[in-house]
C-alpha cells in the first residue's frame, strides 16, 4: 500500500511543478481572420431574458434575488418545475432556439461580470462552437462556448454556476504571453 502512495504522491508533486502551457498559439493576423467580433442586438438579448423570466412566471417559481440572466437563475430555470427545455418545446420552439436563449443570457452575464467579449468563429469545427466568449489578458485568452455549454446544462451534466466557478480562478491567475514564452524558453535549457 505504501508503495502506491509513494508513486501517486510523487506524481502529484511532479505535476505541480510543470508550467501551464496554452492549448493553441496563434498570430494576431490569424485571430482577426478567424474570429469576428460579434454583437447581439439588444432586442434579442431582451427577448432571451423575457423567455427565462416568462418561465419563472408561468411555473410560479421564485427566481433568485439577482438579475434573471445570472447563472443561479439560469440553473434554476433548467432544473426546477417542468424545466426550461420542456417549457420551450411546449411553445413549439426548436432545440437550437432553446440553446440560444440560454447562451445569450449567459453571454451577457460573462460580459458584464468579467469582461468576456463575444466572437463568431468563421472556421468552427462544430456548429455549437461558432459562438465564442473570449477573455483577453495581455494576449492570453480564455475561450468559452456558450451554445455547447448550454447543451451540457440542459443534458444535466453541468451547470452555469459550475462553469463560472471553474473560470473565475483562472481569470485571476491567467499568465501573460511573456510568462508563457519564458516558461517555454526555460525548457530549452
For the segment 19-72, what is each residue's pLDDT rounded down to a tens digit?
556 677 788 899 899 999 999 999 999 999 999 999 999 999 999 999 999 999
Phi/psi for 147 (5° steps) reads -70, -45
3-state DSSP assignment of residue 91: coil
Q: From edge to edge, which strands make up the β-sheet containing 140-144?
A: 35-37, 117-121, 131-137, 140-144
Task: Label residue 87 by pLDDT band (50, 70, 90).
Answer: very high
pTM of this structure: 0.82
Distance (Å, rounded) from C-alpha 144 to C-alpha 35? 13
**Per-residue model confidence (pLDDT) at position 189:** 65
Do β-strands 35-37 and 117-121 pair in parallel, antiparallel, or remain unpaired? antiparallel
Amino acid at each position: 500500500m505504501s508503495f502506491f502512495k509513494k508513486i501517486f504522491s510523487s506524481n502529484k508533486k511532479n505535476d505541480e511543478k510543470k508550467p501551464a502551457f496554452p492549448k493553441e498559439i496563434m498570430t494576431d493576423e490569424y485571430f482577426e481572420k478567424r474570429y469576428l467580433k460579434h454583437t447581439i442586438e439588444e432586442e434579442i438579448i431582451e427577448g432571451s431574458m423575457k423567455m427565462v423570466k416568462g418561465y419563472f412566471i408561468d411555473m410560479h417559481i421564485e427566481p433568485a434575488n439577482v438579475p434573471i440572466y445570472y447563472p443561479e437563475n439560469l440553473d434554476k430555470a433548467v432544473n426546477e418545475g417542468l424545466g426550461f427545455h420542456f417549457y420551450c418545446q411546449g411553445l413549439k420552439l426548436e432545440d437550437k432556439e432553446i440553446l440560444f436563449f440560454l447562451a445569450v443570457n449567459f453571454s451577457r452575464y460573462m460580459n458584464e461580470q468579467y469582461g468576456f467579449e463575444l466572437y463568431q468563429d468563421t472556421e468552427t469545427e462544430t456548429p455549437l462552437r461558432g459562438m465564442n466568449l473570449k477573455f483577453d489578458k495581455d494576449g492570453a485568452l480564455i475561450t468559452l462556448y456558450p451554445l455547447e455549454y448550454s447543451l451540457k446544462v440542459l443534458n444535466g451534466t453541468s451547470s452555469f454556476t459550475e462553469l463560472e466557478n471553474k473560470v473565475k480562478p483562472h481569470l485571476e491567475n491567467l499568465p501573460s504571453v511573456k510568462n508563457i514564452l519564458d516558461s517555454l524558453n526555460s525548457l530549452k535549457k
